[in-house]
Chain A
Amino acid sequence: EAQVTQNPRYLITVTGKKLTVTCSQNMNHEYMSWYRQDPGLGLRQIYYSMNVEVTDKGDVPEGYKVSRKEKRNFPLILESPSPNQTSLYFCASRDSRTGMGRAFFGQGTRLTVV
């Protein structure tokens, strides 16, 4: 079954404690992306990756890091989380060879930073 898997689904952490949210896809997609969703602001892109070892900033990259060492994995790293990073995070992947591929989303990670 085609899917994008994120972990964890829920996370409560304290300010400054490094954390990683994992994302894995089984569709051999080149393109992967991270979004955060906040009320009234829709889905805002944090980082995206067009292929292995190729990443680029989205609209709200500050405070986040990503890596793309393998095609299937695209972890999101918060080196020093702050309360303003409390949000709902989604990972997505798509077949981007033609620019027409649909996006597949993970189940989401609800992060609370206290």
Chain B
Amino acid sequence: GQQVMQIPQYQHVQEGEDFTTYCNSSTTLSNIQWYKQRPGGHPVFLIQLVKSGEVKKQKRLTFQFGEAKKNSSLHITATQTTDVGTYFCAANSNSGYALNFGKGTSLLVTP
């Protein structure tokens, strides 16, 4: 079942504000992936984190993997309307390589 909990479920920000979504697990993860789904689209891979304490950046997006590899976050600096969508974290299941997704955070950005 779903082993990663994601919060918040929804976030509404004004353009230019920052945004953060969090992903938490009760068990140590081997790695975590992040995906973005635009409205009407399908999930698209953004990034993967593997190492404890890892931080990766993609332009205005910053991804972090916790020291204990049980949590992760995605932070967007100065949101733009193009950031609108649902952001999912995903982790391998306990039993093998099946990929389980968090429930996602839907981001709405108003100009």
Closest CB in chain A relative to B98 CB, distance in Å:
5
Does B35 lie at the interface of the complex (its beta carbon under 8 Å from any beta carbon of A)? yes
Are B31 and A103 closer than 8 Å at their CB atoms?
Answer: no
Chain B contact residue count (CB 8 A cutoff): 27
Give B97's nearest chain A residue, CB to CB.
Answer: A96
Q: A43, A56, A102, A107: which contacts B88 (Cβ < 8 A)?
A: A43
- Name the residue of chain B whose CB is nearest to the CB of A90: B42
Which A residues are in CB contact (< 8 Å) with B31?
99-100
- Whether B42 and A99, one on each chain, are in contact in the complex, defined by CB atoms closer than 8 angstroms, is no
Whether A107 and B42, one on each chain, are in contact in the complex, defined by CB atoms closer than 8 angstroms, is yes
Stretch at the interface among A17-25, A34-42, A73-81: A34-42
A residues at B contact (CB < 8 Å): 31, 33, 35, 40-45, 48, 50, 56, 58-59, 90, 92, 94, 96, 99-100, 102-108
A-B contact pairs, 23 of them (CB 8 A): A31-B97, A31-B98, A40-B9, A42-B2, A42-B88, A42-B102, A43-B104, A45-B98, A45-B99, A48-B98, A50-B96, A50-B97, A92-B43, A92-B99, A94-B97, A99-B30, A99-B31, A99-B92, A103-B33, A103-B90, A104-B45, A108-B41, A108-B42
